[in-house]
Amino acid sequence: MADLAVFYEHPSWFAPLFAALDRRGVDWTAIPIQDHTFDPADSRLPAGVILNRLAMSSFLRQDEHALFYSQAVLDHWRGLGARVINGAEVLAYDTNKARQLSLFRRAGLAIPVTRVAHRRTDAQRLAAQIGYPVMVKANVGGSGAGMIRYDSAEALEADVADGLTPVGVDGVFMVQEYVPARDGRVIRCEVLDGRLLYAIALDGAGATFDLCPAEVCLVDKPQITVSAYTPPRAIQAAVERVSDLAGLDVGGIEYMIDDRDGAAKFYDLNALSNFVARPIEVLGYDPHDVFVDYLVRQIAARAGAPQGVEA
């Protein structure tokens, strides 16, 4: 049995992580999600520590995606005693933007005015309550998918009639006020082990909804620029509070400054930390190395735990 198994879907996003694991000599194995099946009666583990790297955008690449399958198998391994990093409980937030918004509010943070629904016919009524322009968003998103801005009731009415408004793969969607991000900028705060690791500013947010900051994501989005950013102390504390409430081991939490009133509006929790493109240039170091340090500590802690007990 390997020390670490990486449960992943995207074919190229994790090449830097795999290289960092190899440099450190970690005993690890890869588990491609799209080829995976499991037996609920099988008590064998693929590794003592299992790292979940499921991408929410996998439903864009595979008609038969594994978003909800993964929750089942990760919980199966956890029940057998594995240390699962970003396990089923975290995926329950990652696959549900509505739950994320409720989580932000429990943490005392501001969010865009939002209504959650499961019938397209409710979209117009809810948009009227909020006021235009509005965003209609799929509850399960990824890489900017399932998001449309509507500037008028007529435009929304037409798309509702034609069945074109976004609906998540779970049948849930949100109607949300359009928040004008100050300077077209959003902030992504990366957390690791409950603490802020770093933050980056993504400028040019008005040009696209796909704000993935990884190298492979930015090759076709030259309008997006990435720079290191230091959030105010209150924001840092808020991000760590959200991470603790969600049980998030590693991932990103995003917010923007509402240009209308200067308030920070939180809108996304992403358990898939792609880290940043050109990390040495942007941050001055490679966060993959810090992440592997964390993984090595998890392996050591799990090895020292009593057999059958999760570390």
Residue extents of the structural domains in the chain: 2-91+291-303, 94-111+179-285, 114-177
CA separation for the pair 100, 9 (Å, rounded): 23
Higher pLDDT, 175 or 144: 175
Class of domain 94-111+179-285: alpha beta
The mean pLDDT value for 214-233 works out to 70
Task: Please state, in angstroms and as integers, the Cα–Cα distance from residue 71 to each residue in 7, 77, 86, following that order.
Answer: 12, 10, 10
What residues have CB less than 8 Å from 164, skipping those under 6 apart? none
Q: What angle do CA 94, 95, 96 make, to 5 degrees?
A: 95
Q: Which two tokens stand for residue 137?
A: 């968003």
What residues have CB less than 8 Å from 92, skipping those under 6 apart? 71, 99
Provide the 10 A C-beta neighbour count for residue 21.
Answer: 22
pTM tops 0.85, yes or no: yes
Label residues 78-95 b or e (16+ Cβ within 10 Å = b): beebbbbbbbbebbebbb
What residues have CB less than 8 Å from 83, skipping those under 6 apart? 48, 49, 50, 298, 301, 302, 310, 311
- Give 236's DSSP letter: H
CA separation for the pair 165, 157 (Å, rounded): 9
What per-residue confidence (pLDDT) applies to 86?
97
The type of residue at 188 is R
Listed range (97-106, 205-214, 224-233) with the worst mean pLDDT: 205-214
Q: pLDDT tier at 216 (50, 70, 90 boundaries)?
A: very low
Fold of domain 2-91+291-303? Rossmann fold (3.40.50)
The mean pLDDT value for 116-120 works out to 96
The mean pLDDT value for 92-121 works out to 96
pLDDT at 214 over 80: no
| pLDDT, the chain, mean | 90
Asked if 89 contacts 247 with a C-beta cutoff of 8 angstroms, the reply is: yes
CA separation for the pair 286, 45 (Å, rounded): 30
CATH of domain 114-177: 3.30.1490.20
CA separation for the pair 83, 156 (Å, rounded): 46
What per-residue confidence (pLDDT) applies to 308?
47
pLDDT at 33 over 50: yes
